[in-house]
Amino acid sequence: MDDLLRIDDALSEEQRLIRDTVKEFVSDRVLPHVGDWFEDASFPARELAPALGELGVLGMHLEGYGCAGLDAVAYGVACRELEAGDSGLRSFVSVQGSLAMFPIWKYGSAEQKEEWLPRMASGEAIGCFGLTEPDHGSDPAGMRTHAKQDPSGDWILNGAKMWITNGSIADVAVVWAQTEEGIRGFVVPTDTPGFSAPEIHKKMSLRASVTSSLYFDDVRLPAAAVLPGVRGLKGPLSCLSEARFGILWGVVGAARACLESAVDYSRSRVQFDRPIGGFQLTQEKLAWMYVGLGQSQLTALHLGRLKDAGSITPRQISFGKLANVRAALDIARQARTVLGGNGITLEYPVIRHMNNLESVLTYEGTQEIHTLVLGEALTGIPAYR
Amino acid sequence: MNIVVCVKQVPDTATERKLRSDDKTLDRDAADGVVNELDEYAVEEALRLKEAHGGEVTVLTMGPDKASETIRKALAMGADKAVHLVDDALHGSDALGTSYALAQTLKKIGFDLVVLGSESTDARTGVLAAMLAERLGVPQLTFANKVEVNGTSIAIQRVTDYGYDKVEAVLPAVVSVVEKINEPRYPSFKGIMAAKKKPVEKLGVADAEIDVAQVGLAGSWSEVADFAAAPPRAAGTVVKDEGDGGVKAADFLASKKFV
């Protein structure tokens, strides 16, 4: 399919090479199998993580500790090509790099960084991020998970987290908990006694991705387990801004995969003696999908440039996450109709992306919360509660 | 060991490839350029030889400015430096002219071993390795699916219809590789970032002491007389199996001289 607006011409040679490399990897290692992973509700993280590490995907936008140090646009392009494979793959990478490695890299002690970052960059160690709780999703400030220091200085962690990507397969969890001095982050090795992470089953979305609950039952952590560099909700929120940036690029890839599939199908599927792509109703669908795709791509590129300039704001990221996920979901649903009955099978990527995007619409700030962020930006009146 | 890998930028085989109506050469602007697939295997083999025996891998490309993308990919895979032979006078060179231009450049930059893919996906002549070796006056070891270097001697397995030949020679030499030889690595992100800083030397025809009468469209010994679009695929023949399907299939294959 033609990049009609030639948006990728704006990429540098390195950014294009990163695009092509990830695309090739996804085409070789993911696309032949992802339909089966989705059907079997499995994700071969232990096989993929070292390969992704070797490529330099894990923590790609961080500097040092074996990370590649990519600029924001290159990071975005890589997320786009990963999610053109599957949102589950991109989620794995986002969680590893932006939610687990980023807080250690940004707020961790020298020891925490040395212990975890090189192993996480290589894919030897897998990380997860515990913020959302069963009763506190959009309202994380109300979290009930708490940590208390006993007289020895050790932290005792109790509580539960939910909807945690990579939870059951992680070697380390970055867990946010209430303390007497406000919300703090903790680096929790998952083999610590009292830690458990049962997998959440019966999902109809992000099936090629591991989702878990985390339970902390008197988990005893050394004083050095706390992230020294941040206090309060701004810690986890800053991680989410990183990850949301990856999402607003990533969903462009999922949307593109759906449109490509719909275009191919419409050109070869014959009804009433002509390809259905020759019917005006189909062309209208395809044309609007193309418009939506181009607009979300431009939004992503613009926000990437703002991020590289160091001036991006959380509100701008909310705009991108809201607009691009919505556009991608609309494109996926339209593509599904073009494919007719075939649109519901895993022989084609469309229903997989469509179902995945239902999760993406909700996680990392629901569309409702991002809507309220923009509402507040316009009116000056917060409407969250 | 000083290894030079010749890589060529070709139009993406996944897109529709076109010839230009004015001079009947390949329309390089009509499709995205990619590294000729077999040349990626050549780069991989050169990197493995370097990893085993030490030395340096230099990428050599002849092509327009746009071919720098191809150089960048080879550097990102791990090659150390590159030479880009770029000059309008080279436009339209056939295999003979290309082999002359590359040979002149190779004489200038020096080499112990030249590695290249056994053919390109655009022109598909498959003769460049032989021509290069002849022009350089060194042994040619072509269609290799295995390469072993021991000191100054080199041995390959040359793929044939009946299996393989063992071919041995003394360096310097030219080797062409087939796709069975290895599995090319992906350029890593760190490799991609590092490639920016690797030296790329641009040479024109004068720098490489190339006689312009022997290159370009005018200097070529072969020319494209005419071309036409491939005819649309005709509808297939449907053969009904009425208990004699096997016979009909065999007859069909015999009519096409397959059996």
Spans of all domains in chain B: 2-228
Q: How far is B2 from chain A (nearest CA, A)?
A: 26
- How many Cα atoms occupy the beta-carbon half-sphere of B106 within 13 Å? 31
Among chain B residues, CA nearest to A15: B192
Using CB atoms, pick whichever of A16, A55, A69 lies closest to residue B188. Answer: A55
Residues in A closer than 8 angstroms to B72, CB to CB, are: 13-14, 17
Using CB atoms, pick whichever of A55, A60, A78 lies closest to residue B186. Answer: A55
In a domain, A384, yes or no: no
Give exposure, A113-143, as e/b (b: 16+ Cβ within 10 Å).
bebbbbbbbbbebbbbbbbbbeebbeebeeb
- Do A211 and A263 fall into the same domain? no
Residue with tokens 């919505």: A326
**How many domains does chain A fold into?**
3
Helix (H) and strand (E) counts in chain A: 12, 11
Angle of helix A234-268 relative to helix A314-338, nearest 10 degrees? Answer: 20
Using CB atoms, pick whichever of A16, A25, A56 lies closest to residue B190. Answer: A56
Q: Is B210 helix (H, G, I), strand (E, B) or coil?
A: coil
- The answer to whether the bond into B172 is cis (omega within 30° of 0) is yes
Residue with tokens 């050549």: B42
Q: Is A87 helix (H, G, I), strand (E, B) or coil?
A: helix
Residue A302 pLDDT:
98
Residue A32 pLDDT class (50, 70, 90 cuts): very high
- Which residue from B234, B230, B239, B253 is spatially nearest to B19, judged by alpha carbons? B230
Q: Name the catalytic one among A13, A364, A368, A376.
A: A364
Among chain B residues, CA nearest to A122: B188
- Which residue from A59, A62, A70, A133 is spatially nearest to A96, judged by alpha carbons? A59
Q: CATH number for the domain including A48?
A: 1.10.540.10
- Do A246 and A359 fall into the same domain? yes
Tell me the pLDDT of chain A averaged across its residues.
97
For residue range A264-313, what is the model confidence (pLDDT) as tens digits? 999 999 999 999 999 999 999 999 999 999 999 999 999 999 999 999 99
Residues in A closer than 8 angstroms to B34, CB to CB, are: 20
Q: Is the pLDDT of residue B185 over 90?
A: yes
A376 assigned to active site: no
Computed over its alpha carbons, how large is the radius of gyration of chain A? 21
- Do A251 and A198 fall into the same domain? no
- Do A269 and A351 fall into the same domain? yes
Among chain B residues, CA nearest to A54: B188
- Do A315 and A246 fall into the same domain? yes
Which structural domain range is residue A166 located in? 127-225
What's the burial of A239, exposed, middle or buried (CB within 10 Å: 0-12/13-18/19+)?
buried
Q: CATH number for the domain including A309?
A: 1.20.140.10
In a domain, A18, yes or no: yes
Q: How far is A54 from chain B (nearest CA, A)?
A: 7
Residue A66 pLDDT:
93
- Rounded CA-CA distance A300/A73 in Å is 8
- Rounded CA-CA distance B215/B222 in Å is 11
In a domain, A17, yes or no: yes
Residue A369 pLDDT:
97
The residue-averaged pLDDT of A357-379 equals: 97
Residues in A closer than 8 angstroms to B190, CB to CB, are: 56, 68
Final residue in a domain of this structure, among A225, A242, A257: A225
* Paired tokens of A77: 């392009």
- Which residue from B85, B110, B77 is spatially nearest to B9, judged by alpha carbons? B85
Query: How many pairs of residues across A and B have Cβ atoms under 8 Å apart?
Result: 49
Of chain A residues 57-86, which have a CB less than 8 A from chain B?
57, 60, 68-70, 74, 78
Residue B15 pLDDT:
78
In a domain, A68, yes or no: yes
In a domain, A114, yes or no: yes
**Is A37 an 8 Å CB contact of chain B?**
no
- Which residue from A266, A309, A296, A268 is spatially nearest to A360, judged by alpha carbons? A296
- Rounded CA-CA distance B76/B78 in Å is 5
Q: Is the pLDDT of residue B235 over 80?
A: no
List, as one string, the DSSP characters of A165-192: ETGGG-SEEEEEEEETTEEEEEEEETTS
Final residue in a domain of this structure, among A122, A147, A181: A122
- Do A88 and A48 fall into the same domain? yes
- Rounded CA-CA distance A306/A315 in Å is 12
Q: Helix H segments across A309-366?
A: 314-338, 350-362
For residue range B199-225, what is the model confidence (pLDDT) as tens digits? 999 999 999 999 999 999 888 998 888
- Do A51 and A138 fall into the same domain? no
Q: Is the pLDDT of residue A100 over 80?
A: yes
- Do A71 and A195 fall into the same domain? no
The CATH superfamily of B2-228 is: HUPs (3.40.50.620)
Contacts of B201 (CB under 8 A, 6+ apart): B81, B82, B83, B84
For residue range B3-14, what is the model confidence (pLDDT) as tens digits? 999 999 998 877
Final residue in a domain of this structure, among A225, A256, A290: A225
Q: How far is B132 from chain A (nearest CA, A)?
A: 30
- Do A348 and A259 fall into the same domain? yes
* Paired tokens of A213: 């609950």
Q: Is the pLDDT of residue B231 over 90?
A: no
Residues in B closer than 8 angstroms to A56, CB to CB, are: 188-192
In a domain, A2, yes or no: no
- Do A138 and A266 fall into the same domain? no
Residues in A closer than 8 angstroms to B68, CB to CB, are: 13
- Rounded CA-CA distance A130/B143 in Å is 55
- Do A288 and A151 fall into the same domain? no
- Do A239 and A342 fall into the same domain? yes
> Are residues B69 and A16, on separate chains, in Cβ contact within 8 Å?
yes
Length of chain B: 259
Q: How far is B189 from chain A (nearest CA, A)?
A: 5
Q: Are strands B33-35 and B9-11 parallel, antiparallel or unpaired?
A: antiparallel
Among chain A residues, CA nearest to B14: A1
* Paired tokens of A260: 């490509």
**B183, B192, B197: best to mutate for the A interface, most A CBs within 10 A:** B192
Q: How far is B190 from chain A (nearest CA, A)?
A: 5
Query: Side chain identity at A131, as an amino acid letter?
Result: L
Chain B residues with CB within 8 Å of chain A CB: 34, 68-69, 72-73, 76, 186-193, 195-196
The residue-averaged pLDDT of B34-51 equals: 95
Q: Helix H segments across chain B?
A: 37-53, 68-77, 95-109, 128-136, 189-195, 216-219, 245-255
Cβ–Cβ < 8 Å for A221, A294: no
**Is A14 an 8 Å CB contact of chain B?**
yes
In a domain, A385, yes or no: no
Percentage of chain B lying above the pLDDT 90 cut: 71
In a domain, A20, yes or no: yes
- Rounded CA-CA distance A320/A91 in Å is 17
Q: Is A41 helix (H, G, I), strand (E, B) or coil?
A: coil
**pTM for the complete prediction?**
0.90
